[in-house]
Structure 1
Amino acid sequence: MNKKGIVFFDVDGTLIDWTKGIYSPTKTTKEAINKLKENGYLTVLATGRPKSSITKEIEDLGLNGYIASNGAYAEIENEVIFNECINNEKLKDLLYFLEENEIVYILEGQEKNYVLDINNEKVKYLIDKANLDIDSFTDNWTKEDVKTSKIIAIGKNENSYKIVREKYKEKEFAFMANQFGDTFEIYIAKYTKGYGVEHLLERLDISKDYAYAFGDGENDIEMFQAIKYGIAMGGYHKDLEPHAFDFTEDVENEGIYKGLKKLELI
């Protein structure tokens, strides 16, 4: 593709911030991304979310592609590049362990999110809090056939994360604790946003020297390592700081617009 470069955008804490009730990109953010595209840059989402949890407000930005599920899924111009899922035998072992320890879970797939009970109060609360579409969730599935790239676990208590991590940290899984209560993520360690970004850059024949990224989380570290210009949003995770090229403000204070202006991309 004959483009000037490529810009990757995280979702939560970058394009939106549902913890502050900002569920849609601001008008200024939308205008900045439209100007970026007019100026000849490819725009790609890079999120821990699966495609099934990307809201209409994000889709309406009209980005060129998606890296989802922390790098386990990638597509560009509606062409799926890869969709890596957790092996079902390994998955079953893990899920039975979660159930034995009374840990509620959500299996994130690109088409649907899978739960044991759609009416579970913890599940319903998380769906509502994150402003997700209830229709993207189903409890009609089997452990033998389900396709998932990442698991959201809602712990019984503060020890749940430690129990699961200790048992499975040597079995190809990686873990990330969230700031949201006793919720944590489980995924295959190999797949990170950096993995997705590197493969997409190679596919598009774009040098990392012409690649930019905006993010705020711990799971953005590998993405920042894979490109030259990593811009940390206001309120960023402390471990992201050493990997950032520069810093901008938070969602509420138009960090995307200000960051793109400072980079002279718009």
Structure 2
Amino acid sequence: MTNKPDAIIFFDLDGTLLTSDVTVAKTTIEAINNLHNNNIMPVIATGRTVCEVQHIMKQSKIDSIVAMNGQSVFYQGSHVFSNNIDISVIDRVMAYSKTRTNIPLSFYNDKIMRISELSKPAIKFYNFLKQPVPPVDSDIYRSEPIQMLLLLCEDGEEEYIKQFPELCFIRNTQYCVDVFNRGGSKAFGIKKLLENKKLLDVPTYAFGDGLNDLEMFELVDHPIAMGNAVTPLKKLAEFITDDHNNDGIAKGLKHFSLI
């Protein structure tokens, strides 16, 4: 690939690049190989953190990522940007959870994932992701920068939204809510990447399926919704491709003559 790609494509993971069994389809891997051959840069844009998707990046041969809903950005393996949550804010969230809601938390940065306690909500969520439950360390944020928290719950985030206006709360699955600094989003991270690497003049595309893809769809030149996407996202899409279990990525790329 030349120094400047002819286009950049941002791929959400769950429900988009990944099938229901949390793997990358063979047709998707072939499509990404073709993108590289065509001087088009694939970038993962996900709510997940870097350390939990290394195997996916290796399998798909994608080395650039907008992680944790834009809170950490790497381009071709090099760090571009991180947006840390202030320790005093995490202190308040922890205290509120303990005294008011009893909702357990997860702590994320580029290198580590930890949980505040071993609980049924934590087990249920990480089983859903088909991942091991992270180690318990409720004080990790005092020694490690944290870019994203997770509320491990099926409901109850409304009170947090009222209590913490400096934070953004996005339900990412039925079992968790992503929490990060207000103003952060996948679009925020993408802007940081494009500005830092002087790629603002490169055409941009995005594939997604969930509510945390809305800002990304509003930013890129060509938003593409998966067939399994939520209705608000489909309304923003330039094109709706097939679902994530039926070669939706390859079909969408072919529609735009990118492969």
| Helix, strand or coil at the partner of 2:178 | strand
Q: How does 1:224-235 map to 2 (within 5 A)?
A: 224-235=217-228
| Helix, strand or coil at the partner of 2:179 | strand
Residue among 249, 252, 259 paired with 2:242: 249
Q: Does 1:165 align with 2:161?
A: yes
Structure 2 length-normalised TM? 0.91
Residue among 174, 185, 188 paired with 2:181: 188
Tell me what 1:177 maps to.
171
Does the CA-based 8 Å contact 1:208-1:227 persist in structure 2? no
Tell me what 2:135 maps to.
138
1:260–1:32: structure 2 CA closer, same or farther, 3 Å change rule? same
* Residues 7-52 of structure 1: CA deviation (Å, up to 9, x unaligned): 11110110114xx3x2111101100111111111111111011112
**Any gaps of 5 or more consecutive residues in structure 2?**
none
Tell me what 2:254 maps to.
261
Identical aligned residues as a percent: 25
User: For this pair of structures, how many residues does the alignment match?
Assistant: 255
Letter in 2 for 1:102: N
Tell me what 1:202 maps to.
195
Q: Does 1:30 align with 2:29?
A: yes
Does the CA-based 8 Å contact 1:7-1:42 persist in structure 2? yes
1:177–1:64: structure 2 CA closer, same or farther, 3 Å change rule? closer
Letter in 1 for 2:186: K
Letter in 2 for 1:261: K
Tell me what 1:86 maps to.
85
**Any gaps of 5 or more consecutive residues in structure 1?**
none
Tell me what 2:108 maps to.
108
Does the CA-based 8 Å contact 1:42-1:64 persist in structure 2? no
67-76 vs 201-210, which moves further: 201-210
Letter in 2 for 1:163: E
Structure 1 length-normalised TM? 0.89
Does the CA-based 8 Å contact 1:209-1:227 persist in structure 2? no
CA distance in 2: counterparts of 1:161 and 1:74, whole angstroms: 26
Tell me what 2:43 maps to.
44
Letter in 2 for 1:138: P
CA distance in 1: counterparts of 2:56 and 2:172, whole angstroms: 23
Cα shift at 1:208 = 5.6
Tell me what 1:96 maps to.
95
* Residues 229-248 of structure 1: CA deviation (Å, up to 9, x unaligned): 11011121222233212110
Does the CA-based 8 Å contact 1:127-1:133 persist in structure 2? yes
| Helix, strand or coil at the partner of 1:252 | coil
Tell me what 1:4 maps to.
6
CA distance in 1: counterparts of 2:248 and 2:203, whole angstroms: 20
CA distance in 2: counterparts of 1:191 and 1:233, whole angstroms: 23
Does the CA-based 8 Å contact 1:8-1:214 persist in structure 2? yes
Q: How does 1:45-64 map to 2 (within 5 A)?
A: 45-64=44-63
Residue among 218, 221, 226 paired with 2:211: 218
Taking only aligned residues, the RMSD between alpha carbons, in angstroms, comes to: 1.8
